[in-house]
Amino acid sequence: MTPVITREEAAAALAGIRDPHLPVSLADMGMLTDVRIDGTRARVALAIPCLACPAVTVLTDLIRERLLATGEVTAVEVCAGWHVPWDREAVPEHARSAMRAYGIQI
């Protein structure tokens, strides 16, 4: 099935989602590890940086809301967990600086 939204457009829709505890986007934190589009269905892989991440439900809801709001996506599956390890080395310096301002060293 031909997608009605590109992977890049879907990723752009998700780019502004920020961690609820930090002034850093999920994309900058390296938590959005894969976005796949099949027609009007989206599948997003979300790497969780800590075992007991209290924001998983909030984040999956935000991802779902953003993609559905495009009007091009009718169903969203978010696979959150340890399936892809979170890589702290992939976090860009501007995100590291924002995290340091909150007392978090990575």
Give per-residue pLDDT as tens, 67-82: 999 999 999 999 987 7
Q: Give the tokens for residue 64.
A: 């779902």
Is 33 a domain residue? Answer: yes
Is 2 a domain residue? Answer: no
Is 1 a domain residue? Answer: no
Give per-residue pLDDT as tens, 25-68: 999 888 898 999 999 999 999 988 777 778 889 999 999 999 99
Is 47 a domain residue? Answer: yes
Task: Inform me whether the pLDDT recorded for 106 exceeds 80.
Answer: no
Task: Inform me whether the pLDDT recorded for 2 exceeds 70.
Answer: no
Give per-residue pLDDT as tens, 83-98: 666 777 878 888 888 8
Question: Domain range for residue 61?
Answer: 7-101
**Under a CB-based contact definition with an 8 Å cutoff, are residues 41 and 75 in contact?**
yes
Is 106 a domain residue? Answer: no
Is 45 a domain residue? Answer: yes
Res 12: pLDDT: 93
Is 94 a domain residue? Answer: yes
CA-to-CA dists, residue 39 to 14, 30, 32, 42, angstroms = 18, 25, 20, 8
Q: Give the tokens for residue 86.
A: 């979170």
3-state secondary structure of 102: coil
Whole-structure pTM over 0.85, yes or no? no
Tally the domains of the chain: 1
Res 36: pLDDT: 94
H helix intervals, the chain: 7-14, 56-68, 93-101
Res 29: pLDDT: 85
CATH number of domain containing 79 = 3.30.300.130
Is 42 a domain residue? Answer: yes
